[in-house]
Structure 1
Amino acid sequence: MAHQEILRLRTARRGTLEITREVAAVVSRANVRTGLVNVFTQHTSCSLIITENADPSVRRDLEMLAQRWAPDGDADYVHDAEGDDDMAAHARTVLTAVSLSVPIGNGEMLLGTWQGIFLWEHRTHPHAREVVITVTG
């Protein structure tokens, strides 16, 4: 049995947007007791992460690290068609992930106490994003 929905989001700017509740709602609607939920973003300049959901300083620190890994406007970048953040956003996506999976037990995601699912926007301006959520069980 499989159930699939597309979550349409609008990001404000670079940073994280928690989507745990939205994914949990899809899992609930799927009526799967034991299985797996896969979350996939259809974009090359944002990613998905599971990280700390209680202390926002963790996500601020992740952003600081990402700026070190892939700085905006590096003079060595060739791809900059959409601005200084263009290649940096693609690099950040490659260094993180566009897909993640979470086990389902007793009809709920089996996330740890302090885990949340986040869309990580890597562009500096707002964007429309689509996330495909597929529940199997």
Structure 2
Amino acid sequence: MWHQQEIHLPELARGFHLITDEVVHALPCLSECSVGMLHLQLMHTSASLTLNENTDPDVRHDLDTFMRRLVPDGLDYFRHTLEGPDDMPAHVVASFLGTQLTLAVRDGRIALGTWQGIWLGEHRDQGGSRRILTTLNGCEALDL
């Protein structure tokens, strides 16, 4: 089985957002896949995807605080400044964390650890809506 579609997320505030449920709800075909791989590609350069803590929102807060201190807005040596003081820092953080995830699918579900969730990192004050291209490849059952 191959399945590809885009997920559209509304504009989110700057910070990290747990989006696991949005991804799962957008892909009902996951339930048909016994074993496979789900690839998520964020179609933007100033936001990121990462896998991390799915329960305590303080983890998302703390990572956002760390990244803002690591790459603060308005650094005077950035040349790419036409889109605002938060744009180039957003590109840097997106490059650090990445814009793609490849996740195993097992028994009709994304195979996540107990405390793992999919995060969207929004690194702009007004980043706008975001699109994720999803590609699912798998099969209904293994012939062993």
Tell me if both proteins adopt one fold, taking TM over 0.5 as the criterion.
Answer: yes
- Any gaps of 5 or more consecutive residues in structure 1? none
Q: 1:89 maps to which residue?
A: 90
- Cα shift readout 1:12-62 (whole Å, capped 9, x = no counterpart): 321122221122234432421100111110100000011101101101110
- Any gaps of 5 or more consecutive residues in structure 2? 139-144
Q: What's the secondary structure of 1:29's corresponding residue? A: helix
Q: 2:7 maps to which residue?
A: 7
Give me the TM-score of the superposition, normalised by structure 2. Answer: 0.89
Structure 1 residue runs of 4 or more that deviate by more than 4 Å after TM superposition: none
Give me the TM-score of the superposition, normalised by structure 1. Answer: 0.94
Q: 2:102 maps to which residue?
A: 101
Q: What's the secondary structure of 1:76's corresponding residue? A: coil
User: Aligned residue pairs: how many?
Assistant: 137
Q: 1:24 maps to which residue?
A: 24
Deviation at 1:126, TM superposition (A): 4.5
Q: How does 1:1-137 map to 2 (within 5 A)?
A: 1-30=1-30, 31-137=32-138
CA distance in 1, matches of 2:17, 2:8: 12
CA distance in 1, matches of 2:90, 2:48: 9
